[in-house]
Amino acid sequence: MSEERSLSRRTFLPILTGAFTSTIAWRLPAQAQGARPFPQWVEGFRSRALQRGVSDATYTRVMGNLKPDTSVFTAVRNQPEFKEKIWQYLNRRVSDWRIQTGKEKLKEHGALLARIEKDTGVSRTVLLALWGIESAYGDPDVQKNHMRPVFPALAALAWGEPRRRTYWEQELINALRIVERGWSTPAEMRGSWAGAMGHTQWMPEVWINVGMDYDGDGRVNPFGRPDDALASTARYLVNRGKYRRGEHWGYEVNARGQRGGNASRTYEAWQKAGVTRADGRAFPSPSVTAKLWVPQKGGPGFLLGSNFYAVRSYNPSMNYTLSIVHLADVINGADLVTPKFPGGERPPTLAEIQEIQRRLTAIGFDTKGADGRVGAATMQAVSNFQRKVGMEPDGYAGVRLLARLRDAR
């Protein structure tokens, strides 16, 4: 889950969950108080959908008795913000659970990932890492606990959200077109509050325009078997991100006090300037160009090649992209980079996170369970505990926090 958001492609799994609203007394945000009653809006929107190829029967089936999920108005405006340091951001995503599960998934789906890599050129471990960060490798608990029906959510946004209304209307129509094509059903289409769905969190537009039937079952589907989701996501990285076959995303480097910037040089030129790989190895493609990025003064630097920016096309966050490519490298056996950042520490193990959750709940800071997953409830509980004991309330559940909890009475 990511706190850095983009609506240009999709929106991450919500870190703020809300109950599905089915009451008749729907409440709109203040900016939309003048909107038509929802049933009237639904009938008025019908012609728009029919013009885009949605049949009257499909529209009636999906929208006829629909109730808007008005909790999306809270989600779109009031998502909790935690100021994470980069090493904390990475540790939450390149977690012990994701690393170990990623290695297991690489064995389980090795043949599929190898075939996709052969067909598209996208690294199997980069694709695996993106899958792990987007949906915890398709974990059914994520689908069950953090997803909601997308039609009530998208319809509410198209009806009552004044910001980016055209965008929400288009995504609602795209979702209706998916049902029209027989690719999915309203019951199956569960996702984030903004409509991102499946293993790799497609927005309906991506499903319609980039999705491919990779398993040959006659429909494009980001749910169930991961074949369509992973192959289509690789296709996205190639078509929209311009991913280059055979190139590594980049490398952790010793930056020698350099600050980075927009300058693009060959790896050979960077090495002559004193920038060397952190592992001491030579750059395998010295003529390929890259940019230097030093996210934090005193921390490690990174030379970023074209494929780093190809992955970044999935969401325009540098930290998000680094978490994917770093997880891919760690699954392949690379060392963790986070302890090298000033103040950094290793990510806690799954058992340590569960212990943090149990200890917090026991002293009155409810984490809503001890499953070893760090979501909104755990981060809020951590933040409240930190505030009470005089720590910086950054919401980070790490090994230093665990040590403090063990000392707490």
Residue 196's pLDDT is: 96
For each of the chain's 409 residues, which pLDDT tens digit applies? 333 333 445 443 333 223 223 333 345 555 554 468 999 999 999 999 999 999 999 999 999 999 999 999 988 776 555 678 999 999 999 999 999 999 999 999 999 999 999 999 999 999 999 999 999 999 988 888 789 999 999 999 999 998 899 999 999 999 999 999 999 999 999 999 999 999 999 999 999 999 999 999 999 999 999 999 999 999 999 999 999 999 999 999 998 778 778 889 999 999 999 999 999 999 999 999 999 999 999 999 999 999 999 999 999 999 999 999 999 999 999 999 999 999 999 999 999 999 999 999 999 999 999 988 888 899 999 999 999 999 999 999 999 999 999 998 6
pLDDT at 183: 97
Is the model's pTM score more than 0.85? yes
User: What is the pLDDT, as a whole number, of residue 81?
Assistant: 57
Distance (Å, whole) CA 321 – CA 326: 8
If you classify domain 350-407 with CATH, what class do you get?
mainly alpha
Is the Cβ–Cβ distance between 148 and 191 less than 8 Å?
yes
Q: What is the pLDDT of residue 28?
A: 59
Residue 32 pLDDT? 54
pLDDT given for residue 383 in this prediction: 96
